[in-house]
């Protein structure tokens, strides 16, 4: 790439936050390619991973490894280089930097130092999954990865159970089955969109009740492989009143009965579904035990 094009594409002393593909290399935008070819230096999470992508596009620029373990230390030096007039691009292994990826410390430091931070937007698994889910997209919240251990993960899901927004989670193949089991038990009636391997050969997505998610995953051996986004539909507003009443009844019953018996009695008293009440009883029971 010639210096002419470099000068045309990027300005000195600016930080470019560049999104890269989440699987399909063709999703690297022409502008991202131009910027990456033109900057003085590219900060990458794992330089070996990014080299494969960059080499594919014939991009050869000096690289710096910037990951969660060295970001704080390194940011100061990078800010100095930006102040001296160097241009830097920040990329991560896949998708948009900072979205469950490194970069926050550097971007914040650049902002504090008055350095222009320029977006070169592109793929992001969360937004890609939301855009195809058919779940409400007017209000949503990105929750990143749920806790790895079951206890904290269930607590987190319980805390989020009444959120009316569509919630977006990232999940890995190691934990997808466990997370699916927790979602099925705690929020069986909610709609889930599961999107795996987006933009890749084995891309697959489905919308189903959370209670059916474990069976969907078990349908074939490949379903638990790859990378996943889970979207959980928000708590329906009208359920708020029913849920408040169910919670009031269950709280009383749970002082004397097990979650299963409390759900059975509450179903007779309120006319609500026993399965739903059992999930709520479990949540209340576990929340009490955690206090
Ligand atoms: N920064 C990235 C982004 O913008 O989406 C996310 C990085 S995070 C470390 C990696 C997680 O993103 C994966 O575990 C998975 O949950 C999700 N992910 C990334 N690529 C994906 C894909 N092609 N299909 C589905 N989920 C994906």
> Is CATH 3.30.950.10 what the domain over 126-147+165-234 is classified as, yes or no?
yes
Expressed in angstroms and rounded, the spacing between residue 4 Cα and the centre of ligand 1 is: 35
Q: State the closest ligand 1 atom to the C-alpha of 197, by its place in the atom list counted from 1.
A: 24
The best mutation among 17, 94, 200, 202 to test binding of ligand 1, ranked by most ligand atoms within 8 Å of the C-beta, falls on 94
pLDDT in tens, 106-126: 999 999 999 999 999 999 999
Pick the range with the lowest mean pLDDT from 73-77, 92-96, 232-236, 241-245. Answer: 241-245
Ligand 1 lining (C-beta closer than 6 Å): 22-23, 92, 94-96, 99-101, 124-126, 170-172, 195-200, 227-229
pLDDT score, position 57? 98
Question: What's the pTM value of the predicted model, to 2 decimals?
Answer: 0.86
User: HEC states along the chain?
Assistant: CCHHHHHHHCCCCCEEEECECCCCHHHCCHHHHHHHHHCCEEEECCHHHHHHHHHHCCCCCCEEECCCCCHHHHHHHHHHHHHCCCCEEEECCCECCCCCCCCHHHHHHHHHCCCCEEEECCCCHHHHHHHHHCCCCCCEEEEEECCCCHHHHHHHHHHHCCCCCEEEEEECCCCHHHHHHHHHHHCCCCEEEEEECCCCCCCEEEEEEHHHHHHHHHCCHHHHCCCEEEEECCCCHHHHHHHHHHHHHHHHHHCCCCHHHHHHHHHHHHCCCHHHHHHHHHHHHHHHHHC
Q: In the predicted model, is pLDDT for residue 6 greater than 80?
A: no
Per-domain residue ranges for the chain?
3-123, 126-147+165-234, 238-290
Instruction: Name the residue with the closest Cα to ligand 1, atom 8.
Output: 100
pLDDT at 240 over 70: no
Q: Encode pLDDT of 81-97 as tens digits.
A: 999 999 999 999 999 99
Is the pLDDT assigned to residue 275 strictly greater than 90? no
Instruction: Please tell me the distance between residue 203's alpha carbon and the centre of ligand 1 in angstroms.
Output: 13
Output the CATH code of domain 3-123.
Answer: 3.40.1010.10
The predicted structure's pLDDT at residue 192: 98
Average model confidence (pLDDT) for the chain? 94
């Amino acid at each position: 790439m010639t210096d002419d094009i470099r000068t045309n594409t990027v300005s000195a002393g600016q930080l470019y936050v560049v999104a890269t593909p989440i699987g399909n290399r063709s999703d690297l935008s022409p502008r991202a390619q131009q910027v990456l070819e033109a900057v003085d230096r590219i900060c990458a999470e794992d330089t070996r991973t990014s080299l494969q992508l960059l080499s594919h596009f014939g991009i050869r620029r000096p690289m710096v490894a910037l990951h969660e373990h060295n970001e704080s230390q390194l940011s100061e030096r990078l800010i100095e280089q930006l102040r001296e007039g160097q241009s830097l691009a920040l990329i991560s292994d896949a998708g948009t930097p900072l979205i469950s990826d490194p970069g926050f410390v550097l971007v914040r430091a650049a902002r504090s130092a008055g350095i222009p931070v320029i977006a070169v937007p592109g793929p992001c698994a969360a937004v890609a999954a939301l855009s195809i889910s058919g779940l409400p997209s007017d209000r949503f919240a990105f929750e990143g990865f749920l806790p790895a251990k079951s206890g904290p993960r269930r607590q987190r899901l319980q805390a989020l159970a009444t959120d009316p927004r569509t919630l977006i989670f990232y999940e890995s193949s190691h934990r997808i089955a466990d997370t699916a089991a927790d979602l099925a038990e705690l929020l069986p009636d909610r709609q889930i969109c599961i999107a795996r391997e987006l933009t890749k050969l084995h891309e697959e997505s489905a919308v189903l009740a959370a209670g059916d998610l474990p069976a969907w995953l078990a349908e074939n051996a490949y379903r638990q492989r790859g990378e996943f986004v889970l979207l959980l539909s928000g708590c329906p507003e009208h359920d708020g009143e029913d849920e408040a009443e169910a919670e009031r009844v269950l709280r009383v019953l749970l002082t004397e009965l097990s979650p299963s018996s409390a759900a059975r009695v509450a179903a007779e008293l309120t006319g609500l579904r026993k399965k739903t009440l059992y999930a709520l009883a479990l949540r209340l029971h576990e929340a009490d035990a955690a206090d």
